[in-house]
């Protein structure tokens, strides 16, 4: 995902950056060569926690486009389910990018739309 760094904060549990991207504004912990504010990077988004269907991931077919937005200090991601595999894993399409997730609960359906509110988001510099 192409992101533009808006601000950088050093937190206890990592370096947090707020960013703009084609589908909105988000925030996450950055891994890799630390950019300066204003720089653009290509990153891989990782949701390290196992999501729980009905709690921090829910099916909601009421939106049109995928998006990422900040709600207070939390990030909300609206995405399409691209693929669903066994053992509670799936891939989500957000904009032009793919995020892989693990979840618990009922089986997600391919093509469904979901809203994800993960506790933590990690951004890995892809060095592209």
Choose which of 83, 84, 115, 120 interacts with another protein (CB under 8 A): 83
For CA atoms 47, 94, 8, 52, the dihedral sign is: negative
Asked whether position 128 contacts another protein by CB under 8 A, the answer is: yes
Residues 18-77 close enough to bind another protein by CB under 8 A: 31-32, 42, 44, 46
d(CA 118, CA 31): 18
In whole angstroms, how close is the CB of 37 to another protein at the nearest point? Answer: 20
- What secondary structure letter does DSSP report for 49? S
Closer residue to another protein (CB): 71 or 123: 123
In whole angstroms, how close is the CB of 49 to another protein at the nearest point? Answer: 10
């Amino acid at each position: 995902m192409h992101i533009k760094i808006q601000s950088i904060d050093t937190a206890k549990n990592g370096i947090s950056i707020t960013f703009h991207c084609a589908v909105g504004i988000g925030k996450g912990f950055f891994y890799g060569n630390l950019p300066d504010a204003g720089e653009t990077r290509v990153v891989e988004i990782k949701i390290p926690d196992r999501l729980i269907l009905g709690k921090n991931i829910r099916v909601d077919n009421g939106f049109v486009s995928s998006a990422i937005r900040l709600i207070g200090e939390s990030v909300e991601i609206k995405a399409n389910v691209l693929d669903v595999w066994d053992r509670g894993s799936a891939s989500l399409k957000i904009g032009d990018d793919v995020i892989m997730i693990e979840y618990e609960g009922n089986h997600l359906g391919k093509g469904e739309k979901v809203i994800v509110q993960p506790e933590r988001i990690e951004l890995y510099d892809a060095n592209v």
